[in-house]
Amino acid sequence: MGRIFERFAQSVAGWAGRPPAFAFAFLIIIVWGTSGPLFHWSDTWQLVINTGTTIVTFLMVFLIQNAQNRDAAALQAKLDEVIRAVDKARNEFIGIEHLSEKQLLDIRDRLEREFGEAVPIPHETIEKVLSRR
């Protein structure tokens, strides 16, 4: 059952991010909007679109979250492999995604201090990168 859901979630998340999905959703809104006079702009007419969009949004949250979780896990596995493969990399960084937020922030701060002391970055370089458009 889990594998079926994963395939379904991956497919839907992939489809939902493509232009045809947007065009389909836009078409539904156009049809709904132009049908307003036919239904005399009634509360039921408004309820149809509100209910439909709420249901779709609710379900999409779970499907997209599943796809993101899978992508994040795959990316983490790839990064762990890179750490293992690079001779000078610190193997202690493998698995740090399981640490608390405070621990991760402490590690980041220490790395920034360490990097800042080892290789100072000229401000002009940062400004040049930030000014790219």
The answer to whether residue 119 scores a pLDDT higher than 80 is: no
- Contact status, residue 12 vs residue 66, Cβ threshold 8 Å: no
Mean pLDDT of the chain: 87
What's the confidence (pLDDT) of residue 122? 62
Give residue limits of the domains in the chain: 2-98, 99-133
What's the confidence (pLDDT) of residue 73? 92
pTM of the model: 0.62
Of 3, 6, 2, residue with least CA distance to 70:
6
pLDDT digits (tens, 9 = 90+) for 22-81: 999 999 999 999 999 999 999 999 999 999 999 999 999 998 888 888 899 999 999 999
